Amino acid sequence: MALSKWINKAKAYAQQNPDKAKQAIDKIGTTVDKQTGGKYRDKINKASDSVGGALGVDKQPGQVDGQQQAPKQDGGQQPKQDGGQQPPQQGSGSTPPGQ
C-alpha cells in the first residue's frame, strides 16, 4: 500500500476519533521524551503539534500534552489611563462645526 493511502487512513481515523488520536500522539510524545531524558522536549512538542495539525486534531489552545496550561501573562503593558475611550473628534457629529 502506498504511503499516501496510509496517511489518508490515519487522517480519516483521527477525524472520526479525535480524542483517541490526541491521546496516541501525546502518549508517543511522552514516551519519546522519557527515552531521550527530556533533552529534545521542545522538538518533540513541535513534532506532536505538527502531526496533530496534519491529522486535523489540533490541541485545544492552552493545552500541553493533554494538560491544561495557565494562560500567559501580558507582557507588562500598562492599561490605558482613559479607560479605553477615545475623545470625540471634531466634525464627526451631525452638527456642522461652528454651530
Residues of the chain with pLDDT > 90: what percent?
Answer: 42
Q: Which residues fall within 8 angstroms of residue 25, CB to CB, at 6 or more apart?
A: 48, 51, 52, 55, 57
Cell of 96: 456642522
Task: Report, as an integer, the average pLDDT of 31-57.
Answer: 93
pLDDT at 58: 74
pLDDT at 7: 86
Count of beta carbons in the 10 Å neighbourhood of residue 54: 13
Q: Is the pLDDT of residue 71 over 50?
A: no
Predicted TM-score (pTM) of the model is 0.54
Instruction: Check: CB of residue 38 under 8 Å from CB of residue 44.
Output: no
Cell of 43: 522538538
* Strand (E) or helix (H) holding 68: strand 67-68
